[in-house]
Each structure stands twice: as C-alpha cells, then as structure tokens.
Structure 1
Amino acid sequence: MISDYRQTDLERWLSRVYAEVGINHSSDLQEGPLAEMLGIELYYRPCPSMRYESGNYRCITVNSTLPRPVQREHFFHELGHILRGHTGKQHQMNPAFRQLQEAQAEQFVLYAAMPFFLLAPLLLSHHDWAASSVLSQEFGVTRELADKRVAQIKRRIISERMRKGGKTRRRKSAQ
C-alpha cells in the first residue's frame, strides 16, 4: 500500500531540507532547533501567530495561549510562508492571492509536521484504524491534522494505483 504513494515535488524538497539539517526521526522534528537550523528566530507570545521577514532577518511568533499541538501546527504554517517565499502584507493583498498563500501554507503543514519519510514506517506497523491516533501522538499534532494527512495519503495511493492500472490496460490492449 505505502509503496504506491508518490510524493509531490514539495514533499521531496522538504525531505532534502530536513536531511540537510539532520532530521531523521520524528523526535528530531522540534520547532526550536529546526527554526535555529534554518536561521529563524522563534518566539512564543500571547498574540496571534505570525511570521516576519526583513532582509536576512526571519522570525516566527507562535500564540502561546493555544494548546501545544495547535501551537506546533501554527509554527509549521508560518514556516511554510517563509520557506515557500510568500511575500506581502496580508491586509493589503488581493483576497484571492491571500487565499492562495494560506492554502499553500496549510498544505505545507501536512508535509512539514508529518513528513512521509518519517511517517511511512509508522503507517506500516499499525492497523489502519489506529494510524491517525499514533501519528497525532508521535508528531505532536491534533488528531484532526493526522486524520487529514492519512486521508491525503490514502487518496494519493488510490490515484497512483488507478494511474498504474490505466497504463497496464492500455499496454494490454495495444498488444
């Protein structure tokens, strides 16, 4: 099942970034050290989560009043804005462009908080019904985010199997 999963270009790129900074296990995926390795200052304050960039200076502020798993997801969301090169002041942006950047950052959270190369072994070793619960605990994210990632992986596997099945049928009919 897992062998049929095809990573996106963004997932493969993020895996290379994580390898470069020495992330090899889910326990290595800690916000503070990751931010430091990427040259980003990280703050926890009782204010809305945000990122700020000016020249070479980059920082992320995470709302410290949120539950810990939500703080973690906010960190990865803001990290997505930085690593994807999002620019501009949101209150001055065209709403459609702002929505695009937000959707991209939300997609990034799935890959960054639970990268496939770290979660695949866990999915292989647990029954389907327990996968989201295990991922939520292992990666310190909400059950909702883990459910979303598992559903995404399942959809991609089905899509890849259909793509492969279509190629097989086309080759047989051409013979």
Structure 2
Amino acid sequence: MRYAPLREKQITEIMRMKGIRTVSDLTTENICIAFDIDLHFEPRRSRCIFEDDFAVVILDSRLPRLQQRGKFFHELSHIIAHVGDQKRLNEPFKDLQETQAYWISLYTSMPRYLFEPAAIKYQSIQKLQQIFDLPEDMIIARFESIKRERKRQEFQYKMARSESKRRPKSLQPGQVYDSTLSILNQLKNQVGEERLSYEVKRLL
C-alpha cells in the first residue's frame, strides 16, 4: 500500500474490517452479507437505496453477468462513500459522485492487497479477469490506476531527494552552516572541549 492514495487506504481498511481476506471473499453473496445489503435483479437500470441501517441494490437483470458484477461494486461504492439521495442533487454533484463511485469500485472489487499479488503471479489480463470475475475494462483500469499512482509518488520521492541533496544539512558532519560552527566554537572556548558532548564534538 506504499503507493496508494488516501481514499484507497480508507476503502482498504473498510474491506479488511468486513472480513475480505481472499479473492474468494469477493463474491457478490459474501459482500452482501458483509455490508448487510439486500440484492434484487430487475429489468431496469441498476441503482441503490440506502440509509444508515440498511441498503438495497437493484441490478439490471438484462445485463451480462460480468457487467452485473461491475455494476454491483459501483453501487456498493455509493453505499460506502456517499450519503443522501442522488435524485435531490444537482447534475454537477451527481456527476462527481458517479466519478467517485467508478474509482472506488476499482478499490472495492480489486483491493490492492489481493490484486497486486495476483497480478505479479499471473501477469495476464485474461487470467485476472477469471480470478476476479470482472469485465476486462475494469481489470485494465485497475492496472492503470496503480501504475499512475506509482509514477506520481516516485516522482514526488525523486523531487524530495533532489531537494534534500541540494540543501546542506546543518547537523551533519562536514555540512554544518558556518554560523552554526561559529556558535559551537564559542561554546567550546567558554566551557572547554572536554566538557562538550560527543554529538557536538563530531560537528566541529
């Protein structure tokens, strides 16, 4: 989880608290039990209804099974991350919630602590699609999200290291500021070198 964004870390903690330890725990039935969701299949657009103490997910029965799985995790993401009724929101807020639910659905359906080991082991989109039982476009999107986050954080680490090398460290031997050395030498003259601590002596 070194490269994970904050939202993904939060979702990961929720999934672990709900007992999602292996890929086999990611079945629709198990997730419904873990999150106390009442699941229905109807010939209409997928949606969810939820309050603090209950949740209902309605999946479009006309969709292929893998698409239903993807929609299920999308609706789960609304339940986990959002509050209120979307019907009462204006369009920009609805669009924002839909975008958030899309990304969160990648975290919930393919938690990194399960996805990365499988990806390293198999290195095959098709195999991962079979393992996680999800549409291919979701598998690819999960790969891409992890790659982007790695690149972003590696760039930040590189910039931080560069800045650290550029700036002299005031309390490292051989890299002490002249003003700091002057003060330390004054201290040595006043109290005597034998009374200085080892940490001070090593800087002079």
TM over 0.5: yes
1:125 alignment counterpart: 121
Worse overlay, 61-70 or 81-90: 81-90
1:67 alignment counterpart: 64
**1:152 maps onto 2:145 in alignment:** yes
What's the TM-score, normalizing by structure 2? 0.76
Letter in 2 for 1:33: N
What is the correspondence of 1:48-67 to structure 2 with a 5 Å cutoff? Answer: 48-54=45-51, 56-67=53-64
How big is each residue's C-alpha offset from its partner over 1:118-141, in whole Å with a ceiling of 9 and x where there is no partner? 0111122234xx2x3232221111
1:89–1:156: structure 2 CA closer, same or farther, 3 Å change rule? closer
The structure 2 residue matched to 1:82, chosen from 76, 79, 84, is 79
Kept in 1, the 8 Å contact 2:12–2:107? The answer is no
What's the TM-score, normalizing by structure 1? 0.88
2:156 alignment counterpart: 163
2:177 alignment counterpart: none
Please state how far the C-alpha of 1:40 moved relative to its aligned partner: 1.4
The structure 2 residue matched to 1:97, chosen from 93, 97, 109, is 93
* d(CA) in 1 for partners of 2:115, 2:43: 31
Please state how far the C-alpha of 1:54 moved relative to its aligned partner: 4.8
Q: Unaligned regions of 5+ residues in structure 2, if any? A: 169-204
The structure 1 residue matched to 2:131, chosen from 106, 126, 138, is 138
Letter in 2 for 1:161: E
What is the correspondence of 1:35-54 to structure 2 with a 5 Å cutoff? Answer: 35-54=32-51
Kept in 2, the 8 Å contact 1:86–1:101? The answer is no
1:101 is paired with a residue of what secondary structure? Answer: helix
Please state how far the C-alpha of 1:82 moved relative to its aligned partner: 1.1
Q: Unaligned regions of 5+ residues in structure 1, if any? A: none
* d(CA) in 1 for partners of 2:84, 2:128: 32
Please state how far the C-alpha of 1:55 moved relative to its aligned partner: 6.0
Kept in 1, the 8 Å contact 2:15–2:108? The answer is no
The count of residues paired between Structure 1 and Structure 2 equals 168
2:140 is paired with a residue of what secondary structure? Answer: helix
1:96–1:171: structure 2 CA closer, same or farther, 3 Å change rule? same
Please state how far the C-alpha of 1:8 moved relative to its aligned partner: 2.0
Q: RMSD of the TM alignment (CA)? A: 1.7
Please state how far the C-alpha of 1:20 moved relative to its aligned partner: 2.0
Higher relative contact order (CA 8 A, sep 6+): 1
